[in-house]
Structure 1
Amino acid sequence: MTQTSLHVLDTAGRDIQGEVAALRAHGPAARVELPGGVVSWLVTDTALIKQLLTDPRISRDAYAHWPAWENGEGELARTWPLAMWVADRNMITSYGDAHRRLRKLVAGAFTARRTRDLKPRVEAIVAALLDGLAAHGPDRPVDLRAEFAQALPAAVISELLGIPDDVRGELLGVIGAWMTAQDEAAIAEYTRRGYELLHRLVDLKRAEPGDDLVSALIAARAEDGTRLSERELVDTVLLTFTAGHETTTNLIDQAVFALLTHPAQLAAVRSGAAGWPDVVEESIRLEAPFANLPLRFAVSDVEIPGGQVIRAGEPILISFAAAGRDPLVHGPDADEFVVTRPTRADHIGFGHGVHFCIGAPLARLEAGIALPALFGRFPDLALAATPEALSPLESFVSNGHRELPVLLGRSSDA
């Protein structure tokens, strides 16, 4: 179907899946309007997404490849509500050699061996959180998102980074508000407070370094300032902390919601007909933890199916949410949660290509420990509200619920 009018994207994320499904009808990519009158391509087709994510003519660097950004010195940088998604100087917003340099500085903290070594610590944190949940009693509603789905990855990534408890809570609050704020003044205030906290953290770790990633980044900068600028150091901490907890929070949140609203699928897991890794992969497919991720930019003209051309300098928005429900990949029932689906692992919920999420193995480890432990400890777990009463986060990027109220029911032996 030919697109006849420009769709204004709902950045409050009130119906992410419905919106991208409607845009899919216009072809593999559609033109959308973002806040501030910014026009972008939004890509919904999995094959085209994979093509673009591995094409060297596609960049994440707004400073080098988005003329409208004016090297971060123009009107967009000052007032655009989505500026936070392109202004950072870290591995996720870099291109080419800069991306390889920055990713290498972080990669050592997320090797397969180091991730495996974290398993006992993740299990201990999960056990402590479940004990805390049990203290609420069986009949009192509990916000499982805040007290479990978020608490676990926030604790794990904070330990990896070396973030003290007194900084973690405030940083979580500011970043959560930052990601869901819609008006310019609020975004500016949360930006100011967020960077104030991050600079305070870096100053603390400079004064008292430890065996953690922030200290390692500080040491790398001290050894050779050309490897890592101060801005890149701070923005790398911001990225690692945010992605390190927000994606896993949404994964656990959405997996629990899906299981509680699909009792036959939960029964299949409990009977052994499917495994917990199947739940993890199907949850990522059905509800990508980051639904849409601004922005990428064409370095030169790129022709796409249908004879359309993404012109050099034009922005591109990849819809991971749309890819997860692409009927060309997952069939006509792609909107359904089916833990035995043959294509459950054929998703790009953690990205694809050089920008594939470096923490994906850790997210899978955390969810793979948290979910069976939760449902084993609380076999009668149930939603404390109707599914329709739950509200999504006010974000078209972060894909979860504002709250996930549950009744725990009886607790089995710890």
Structure 2
Amino acid sequence: MDPSGGCPHADNARLLARGAVAPVVLPGEVEGVAVLGHDALRELLSHPDVAKNALHFTALRSGGIPDGWPLKTFATVQGMTTADGADHRRLRSLVSRAFTARRVEELGPRIAELTSQLLDGLGEAAAGEGDGVVDLRSHFALPLPMGVICELLGVDAGHHDRLHHLSNQIVATDIGPEQSQAANREMMDVLAAIVAARTEDPRDDLTSALIAAREKDGDRLSPLELIGTLMLMIIAGHETTLNLITNAVRALCTHRDQLDLVMSGRASWPDVVEETLRWDSPVSYFPFRYPTRDLPLAGTVIPKGTPVLAGYSAAGRDPKTHGPDADAFSLTRTAAARHLSLGHGAHYCLGAPLARLEATVALEQLFARFPRLDLAVPDAELPRHASFVGNSVRRLPVHLNG
């Protein structure tokens, strides 16, 4: 795996042509496997003999993984993403009520309000630039989901920029051991400060509710699980939606015929969201799952204890599932809903309804306000994420009025 990331689609196509499962070498010369095919990935994500707990990670358990390994947090953070069975159900139940369809629907007016405010600021930012170019990612696609998830958690606005920077460091795959460890330590410190603030001053937010659950019944949520849950929700709660909005704008700007379909009412904004999730998944390869026995999958045996990457961006363009035009961005595609970009099985993304709502509202309001919006730089020249986990670009310079 190229630790500097980049556009995954060419490599995905090359690997998919050879098979649905591929051996890979992770940073630090750690041997792993990537599951790329749609059907194979679907089977992996719900297989009863595949675990998330790093106790099943053979190389980690035997001492073969150094402390500064850039992917270690994905394996060792204590929370839903590294729990199985009853532990997973316990941790998920503590936050699931905040993400029910009803609760998400109730957030709609606030999301619309935040979006409108950000668009006002976007116009002002563009007017202040001599060339009229504004970075849509940093001025719009980032502050919307970050603002929403932090309001849900009761995190003050003063923490937003630092939390985003640290999130980027944690999901990066091209940084050294010292930088990786420093980012994780600082993230833990910031979250501990947030917990301390909400412990002293409880509010009507999810962090206060989690603290209350911990204090009421200490067995339900340990201190490390509380910090791990907050870390997961902040990173997943804004990075993926940030990438989703960014990738959708890029797709529409480089496929004006598809933008015309939705602007004329022949396709919907939810269609845009689903096709973007399929065609350019916000997450490329997500770490980790571990077979608890030697696991036959799509004609390949994955050895017990091997770290497995879920190849969401590859599965989204698998021609065996999505047809010979899988590489095409098409809003009239009937099979778009079959994508796996938000997961499958017990670990299906808890925030999926919120991410879909945020992206739908953001895109609809953005193009209603700026229907001639276009990229200021050719898409191929946009700087990519320095990670094979996140799949997007680092900046999105646009002309708001074409």
Q: Distance in 2 between matches of 1:182 and 1:287?
A: 24
- In structure 1, the partner of 2:352 is 360
Residue 182 of structure 1: how far off its partner (Å): 1.9
Task: Give how far 1:133 is off.
Answer: 0.8
For residues 305 and 387 of structure 1, the distance between their equivalents in structure 2, rounded to whole angstroms, comes to 34
- Residue matched to 1:240: 233
- Structure 2 distance, partners of 1:223, 1:298, is 36
Partner of 1:293: 286
88, 93, 116: which one aligns with 1:99: 88
Partner of 2:142: 150
Query: Which residue of 69, 73, 79 maps to 1:84?
Result: 73
AA aligned opposite 1:70: R
SS in 1 for 2:286: strand
Note the C-alpha offset of 1:56. Answer: 1.2
Instruction: Give the corresponding residue for 1:12.
Output: 4
Check whether the contact 1:391–1:402 (CA below 8 A) recurs between aligned residues.
yes
Distance of 2:158 and 2:20 partners within structure 1: 46
1:218 aligned partner: 211
How far is the alpha carbon of 1:184 from its aligned partner?
1.7
> 2:343 is matched with which residue?
351
Cα deviation digits, residues 8-41 of structure 1 (max 9, x gap):
x112212311122211122110111111221111
CA apart distance, 1:179: 2.3
Cα distance, 1:209–1:227 mapped onto 2, change above 3 Å: same
Find 1:381's aligned residue among 373, 388, 391: 373
Could you tell me how far apart the structure 1 residues matched to 2:64 and 2:183 are? Answer: 19
- Maintained 8 Å contact 2:70/2:170: no
Residue in structure 2 matched with residue 320 of structure 1 by the alignment: 312
Moved over 6 A (4+): none
- The one-letter code of the counterpart of 2:109 is P
Instruction: State yes or no: 1:182 paired with 2:171.
Output: no
1:332 to 324, 344, 347: 324
Q: Does 1:391 align with 2:383?
A: yes
Distance, in Å, in 1 between the alignment partners of 2:133 and 2:27 is 37
In the alignment, which of 13, 32, 51 is matched to residue 59 of structure 1? 51
1:243-262 aligned at under 5 Å gives the runs 243-262=236-255
Quote the Cα distance in structure 1 between the aligned partners of 2:34 and 2:169. 25
Q: CA deviation at 1:243?
A: 0.5
Distance 1:344 1:51 in 2: 19
Task: Report the CA distance between 1:162 and its aligned residue.
Answer: 0.4
Report 1:197-216 matches (<5 A): 197-216=190-209
Cα deviation per residue 1:37-65 (whole Å; 9 max; x = unaligned)?
21111111111111111111000111x21
- Give the structure 2 partner of residue 48 of structure 1: 40
Choose which of 245, 260, 270 in structure 1 pairs with 2:263. Answer: 270
Q: Distance in 2 between matches of 1:44 and 1:400?
A: 18
Count of equivalent residues: 398
The residue that corresponds to 1:118 in the other structure is 107
Cα displacement (A) at 1:81: 1.8
Q: Are the aligned partners of 1:325 and 1:334 in contact in 2 as well (CA < 8 Å)?
A: yes
For 1:162 and 1:282, locate their aligned partners in 2 and report how far apart those are by CA, in whole Å: 32
**For residues 354-393 of structure 1, what are the alpha-carbon distances to aligned partners after superposition, in whole Å with 9 as ceiling and x for unaligned?**
0000000001101111101000101221111111210111
1:177 aligned partner, one-letter code = Q
Aligned residue number for residue 4 of structure 1:
none
Structure 1 contact 77–87 (Cα < 8 Å) conserved = no
Picking from 400, 406, 409, the partner of 2:392 is: 400
Residues in 1 aligned to 2:44 and 2:295: alpha-carbon distance in whole angstroms: 9
Q: Which amino acid aligns with 1:239?
A: L
Q: Write the letter of the residue equivalent to 1:127.
A: S
Deviation at 1:75, TM superposition (A): 5.0
- Preserved contact between residue 137 and residue 409 of structure 1 (Cα < 8 Å): no
Structure 2 SS opposite 1:295? strand
CA distance in 2, matches of 1:178, 1:59: 22
Contact 2:248–2:272 (CA<8 Å) still a contact in 1? yes
Counterpart residue type for residue 389 of structure 1: E
Q: CA separation in 2, counterparts of 1:290 and 1:388?
A: 19
The two structures have a TM-score, normalised by structure 1, of 0.94
Deviation at 1:90, TM superposition (A): 0.3
Give the unaligned 5+ runs of structure 1: 1-8
SS in structure 2 at match of 1:309: strand
Residue matched to 1:281? 274
Cα shift at 1:153 = 0.3
Partners in 2 of 1:249 and 1:203 — Cα distance? 28
- 2:185 aligned residue: 192
Q: Partner residue of 2:26?
A: 34
SS of the aligned residue for 1:341 comes to coil
Deviation at 1:137, TM superposition (A): 4.0
1-side partners of 2:64 and 2:223: how far apart? 24
Distance 2:150 2:313 in 1: 27
AA at the equivalent of 1:242:
I
Q: d(CA) in 1 for partners of 2:221 and 2:9?
A: 38
Q: In percent, how many aligned pairs have the same letter?
A: 44
